[in-house]
């Protein structure tokens, strides 16, 4: 009888300790909710400022000459072209510098009726200390216009809300808006040019073009917990794409091409 009571007491102690252990176990941490978010952010307006009077000479010139001047113009001949590659870097970072955007722009200038001067040789002339004014550049290079690519960059758009759909009471899909406590960021592109008339050493035009992949709407996944949301992303298999990588290579090439076409039209009008 004593043995039976001992067993019962031991069992009771075990049950009590198990109950205490279960009671002291913290509840599982809440998990984030994954939304299929609908995001929309328009690109900034394009801006064109030009001196039309200074461009009138192009109407009487059947073969205008132009050179595309790029950042770091004093590099040695051909060094720039060797450094600009169309392939991705080793770390697969989707950078605009991975594209030879200069070739894309020059092709559109050629299509628009310009004779395009070799930019590497032109840069060599600019690097000559004896060439100290634009009139001499005109004489040495026989170039009418310099088109400077002054900026090409990603532009960050802050957002704190997105739309998503869920089933309503009658099974129909309702659109709701989620307002996050924090800011999320999506990206666009900006391309800026400056135009200089070589003979007169005059700055005669400024051209800014902008792009947003979500001018209408984009659908991205987004994880939210307690009102705070992470970076919007796309999941394809085991690969997650977010940030600037949401702008594809084709998007960048298409943007540079259409911007260059618009630029040529503005100059030749």
The string of pLDDT tens digits covering residues 109-162 is 999 999 998 877 676 666 665 555 666 666 666 788 999 998 889 999 999 999
Nearest to 118 by CA among 145, 86, 85, 141: 141
Nearest to 97 by CA among 84, 107, 106: 84
The string of pLDDT tens digits covering residues 27-41 is 666 788 999 999 998
- Strand boundaries in 83-199, DSSP class E: 115-116, 145-167, 173-197
Tokens matching residue 72 = 């770091």
Query: In the predicted model, is pLDDT for residue 166 greater than 90?
Result: no
The string of pLDDT tens digits covering residues 18-70 is 555 555 555 666 788 999 999 998 888 999 999 999 998 888 887 899 999 87
Helix axes 134-141, 119-126, angle to 10 degrees: 140
Main-chain phi, psi angles of 75, to 5 degrees: -60, 155
Count of positions (residues) in the chain: 269
Q: What gap in Å lies between CA 214 and CA 187, rounded to an integer?
A: 9
Helix axes 249-268, 101-111, angle to 10 degrees: 40
Q: What gap in Å lies between CA 253 and CA 189, rounded to an integer?
A: 11
3-state secondary structure of 6: helix
């Amino acid at each position: 009888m004593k043995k039976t009571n001992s067993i019962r007491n031991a069992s009771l102690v075990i049950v009590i300790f198990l109950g205490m252990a279960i009671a002291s176990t913290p509840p599982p941490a809440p998990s984030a909710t994954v939304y299929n978010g609908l995001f929309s952010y328009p690109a900034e307006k394009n801006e064109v400022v030009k001196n039309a009077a200074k461009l009138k000479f192009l109407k009487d010139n059947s073969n205008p000459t132009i050179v595309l001047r790029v950042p770091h113009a004093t590099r040695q001949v051909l060094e720039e072209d060797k450094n600009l590659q169309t392939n991705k870097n080793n770390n697969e970072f989707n950078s605009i510098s991975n594209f030879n955007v200069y070739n894309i722009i020059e092709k559109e200038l050629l299509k628009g009726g310009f004779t395009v001067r070799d930019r590497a040789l032109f840069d060599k002339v600019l690097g000559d200390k004896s060439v100290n004014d634009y009139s001499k550049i005109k004489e040495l290079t026989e170039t009418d216009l310099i088109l400077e690519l002054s900026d090409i960059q990603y532009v960050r758009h802050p957002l704190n809300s997105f739309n998503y759909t869920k089933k309503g009471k009658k099974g129909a899909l309702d659109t709701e808006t989620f307002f996050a406590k924090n800011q999320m960021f999506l990206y666009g592109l900006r391309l800026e040019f400056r135009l200089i008339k070589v003979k007169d050493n005059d700055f005669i035009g400024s051209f800014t073009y902008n792009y947003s992949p979500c001018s209408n709407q984009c659908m991205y996944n987004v994880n939210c917990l307690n009102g705070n949301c992470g970076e919007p992303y796309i999941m394809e298999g085991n690969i997650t794409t977010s940030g600037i990588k949401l702008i594809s290579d084709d998007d960048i090439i298409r943007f540079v091409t259409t911007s260059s076409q618009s630029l040529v039209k503005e100059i030749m009008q």
